[in-house]
Amino acid sequence: MALLQISEPDLSTAPHQHRLAVGIDLGTTNSLVATVRNGISVVLNDENGRAMLPSVVRYAADSSVTVGEAAQIEQSVDPTNTIISVKRFMGRGLKDVGDTSRLPYRFVDTDGMLQLRTVAGVKSPVEVSAEILKVLRMRAEAALGGELVGAVITVPAYFDDAQRQATKDAAKIAGLNVLRLLNEPTAAAIAYGLDNASEGVYAVYDLGGGTFDISILRLTRGVFEVLSANGDSALGGDDFDQRIHCWLLEKNDLSALNPQDTRLLLTQARAAKEQLTEHDRTRITAVLSSGELVDNVLTQDEFQSMSHNLIQRTLQPLRRALRDAKLSAADIKGVVMVGGATRMPQVQQAVGEFFGQIPLNNLDPDKVVALGAAIQANLLAGNRSGDEWLLLDVIPLSLGIETMGGLVEKIIPRNSTIPTARAQEFTTYKDGQTAMSIHVLQGERELVSDCRSLAKFELRGIPAMVAGAARIRVTFQVDADGLLNVSAREMGCGMEAAIVVKPSYGLSDAEITRMLQDSVQHAQDDMQARARQEQQTEANQLLEAVQHALVQDGELLDHQQRSRIEAQMTVLQGSLKTEDTLALKRAVNALNEATVSFAQARMDKSVAGVLTGKNISQLETK
């Protein structure tokens, strides 16, 4: 085909050096993908012009997966297989979720991270999240016209190690190279900071669909230094919906609704919450599956009083963050509002009163995290722009190990700037002891039972010695993603002790491998479908080009040549109607071959045309 098309040599575009990278905000309610184009961070829309992808995944019996708006529309019809707010389950066990009776899912209680039984099989929250990430990856690759070098995925600043690891695993399964896990408030600060060229100490108040973060940052020329972070990884806009939902149940004397009705009322509750951002009152109507009618008017005042203590719950982490940064509210130069839930007037008011200033809402609170993540992704991918900046973030929760009596000894305190490492020495307490078990925890409380168990690991192969003689140095390294890695070494004989890590909530390597394989299988199916489509497009383009050439330069062919070409065209048209990709490819090749001399003849004619009217010297200088 290429031979038939004669193009100007100068028009061919040189391969550009820009490395394609995106920022992804994997949200509880909505997810977004953004990239830096021509130096400006932009959110990438879907083919219908929508920026936000609802973080909703529906599994069907035939294993097909629907993600986003299409899944969201069906959530009331098929609540059990339509997973919403999956972020709340990342790196979490069943007992962390609390009251599951209000949730329409069939949970599988396992030792570690909870799982969901769907019509398409048991799914880990990591797999569900990977489905959302895949859709965003494909959206980005289609929009940018190439494969991504990598992505920055945002996580709530207050996410612990298990939640961060789960997010990174989801990205891996979605085929994304994770350049960095970036804290959401920090991403927002980048988007704001670079726009406003601000200096001073700022607070970022980020109330999302299911998580709350507060970060205190100091901005000096080109440096974003997080001084402290705090939050609640199980508090967000969803909880406000729940309050309205409970109010509806009470008002209408309802109890024990089926999953469909629960979902229906929650959807109506969310709509009511959004209405109350602009209006003083809103009417909530719904027809339950029993035929019962729900019809109530909710006023702004009622909503404020029922959600008062939710907002108070955000102020406590705020005070802690300030104390950790050794600052008071008066030291804060500006307060950046992030997350859709900060649109609620009562949130704006409470935060404004706390800091004694009007919060900043210049950038869309739904998009600012993705925009900042894209800016950071562009930098991390190695695309040099004029200005460079440095981001110094912290680990939000202390890391420690279990000691005698079920107590936790802190090894890396919260708000340590990452990357950071700490080494600790251990010894044996029995003669001849060759193994040792170490329990790693995360949290601020003193008791093991009040902290989050991250992993238990065993050191094996310690040389047999008298009690107390072996010296095992365990190094805790937290990387720039805020993820913990542990290594151990016997100091006496210099032997590297083997470590067997059992993550308390994470996935094992074997599970990740299986999920990757599943994902690759799907990807292969997708690839074959895409290959066929490309082949068809190519065939159609070739047929069109040959047809056009025959009309234009048909006189260059003798009768025999022409009929040979026409025969191959018929063969190709025939194989376009079949499913046989290989036959189609062969027919394309055959037609290409049959047109070689024709193309040559056209080339000669065309060149002759160009040369006409030019003298030798002009040709030489060219």
For residue 415, is it left (φ>0), alpha (ψ between -120 and 50) or beta?
A: left
Among 223, 288, 306, 329, binds another protein (CB under 8 A): 223
Does residue 455 sit in helix, strand or coil? Answer: strand
Phi (first) and psi of residue 493, to 5 degrees? -105, 0
**Whole-number Å distance between alpha carbons of 609 and 269:** 72
Of the candidates 450, 415, 196, 442, the residue with the CA atom closest to the CA atom of residue 322:
415
- Count of residues near another protein by CB under 8 A: 35
Whether residue 199 contacts residue 219, with contact meaning beta carbons closer than 8 Å, is answered with yes
Q: Which is nearer to another protein, 126 or 395 (CB)?
A: 395
| 251 lies in the binding site for another protein (CB under 8 A) | no
**Whole-number Å distance between alpha carbons of 307 and 247:** 11
**490 to 177, 358, 440, 464: CA distances (angstroms):** 35, 56, 19, 11
Among 267, 300, 477, 581, binds another protein (CB under 8 A): 477
User: Interface residues for another protein in 288-327 (CB under 8 A)?
Assistant: 316, 319-320, 323
| 379 lies in the binding site for another protein (CB under 8 A) | yes
Which residue is catalytic, options 46, 87, 393, 402?
A: 87
Here the tokens at position 568 are: 């191959």
- Residue 184 designated active-site: yes
| 487 lies in the binding site for another protein (CB under 8 A) | yes
| 424 lies in the binding site for another protein (CB under 8 A) | no
Q: Which is nearer to another protein, 63 or 417 (CB)?
A: 417
| 380 lies in the binding site for another protein (CB under 8 A) | yes
**Whole-number Å distance between alpha carbons of 386 and 407:** 51
For the bound state, the minimum distance from the C-beta of residue 380 to another protein, rounded and expressed in Å, comes to: 4
Q: Which is nearer to another protein, 471 or 562 (CB)?
A: 471
Among 96, 141, 302, 479, binds another protein (CB under 8 A): 479
**Whole-number Å distance between alpha carbons of 336 and 184:** 12
| 390 lies in the binding site for another protein (CB under 8 A) | yes
Here the tokens at position 78 are: 């098929």
- Residue 206 designated active-site: yes
| 467 lies in the binding site for another protein (CB under 8 A) | no
Half-sphere exposure of 570 (CA within 13 A, CB side): 6
Q: Which is nearer to another protein, 381 or 587 (CB)?
A: 381
Spell 539-569 as b/e; 16+ CB within 10 A means b: beebbebbeebbeebeebbeeeeeebbeebb
Here the tokens at position 61 are: 């019996």
Half-sphere exposure of 600 (CA within 13 A, CB side): 5
Which residue is catalytic, options 46, 131, 206, 366?
A: 206
For helices 259-278 and 237-251, give the axis angle rounded to 10 degrees: 110
- Per-residue x/- marks for another protein, 3-42, CB under 8 A? ----------------x-----------------------
Here the tokens at position 97 are: 């979720």
- Residue 25 designated active-site: yes
For the bound state, the minimum distance from the C-beta of residue 511 to another protein, rounded and expressed in Å, comes to: 23
Whether residue 185 contacts residue 529, with contact meaning beta carbons closer than 8 Å, is answered with no
Q: Would you say how long the chain is, in residues?
A: 622
| 421 lies in the binding site for another protein (CB under 8 A) | yes
Stretch that binds another protein, among 136-144, 158-166, 430-438, 475-483 (CB under 8 A): 475-483
Which residue is catalytic, options 127, 131, 160, 184?
A: 184
Stretch that binds another protein, among 209-217, 362-370, 382-390, 598-606 (CB under 8 A): 382-390
For the bound state, the minimum distance from the C-beta of residue 37 to another protein, rounded and expressed in Å, comes to: 19
Q: Which is nearer to another protein, 336 or 380 (CB)?
A: 380
**Is residue 101 classed exposed, middle or buried when 0-12, 13-18 and 19+ CB atoms within 10 A define those classes?**
exposed
| 391 lies in the binding site for another protein (CB under 8 A) | yes
| 264 lies in the binding site for another protein (CB under 8 A) | no
User: Interface residues for another protein in 173-202 (CB under 8 A)?
Assistant: 179-180
Spell 8-24 as b/e; 16+ CB within 10 A means b: eeeeeeeeeeeebbbbb
Among 98, 356, 382, 492, binds another protein (CB under 8 A): 382
For the bound state, the minimum distance from the C-beta of residue 20 to another protein, rounded and expressed in Å, comes to: 12
Among 456, 471, 473, 564, binds another protein (CB under 8 A): 473
- Residue 87 designated active-site: yes
Q: Which residues are part of the catalytic machinery?
A: 25, 87, 184, 206
What residues make contact with another protein under the rule CB under 8 A? 19, 149-150, 179-180, 220, 222-223, 316, 319-320, 323, 376, 379-382, 388, 390-392, 416-421, 423, 473, 475, 477, 479-480, 487, 489
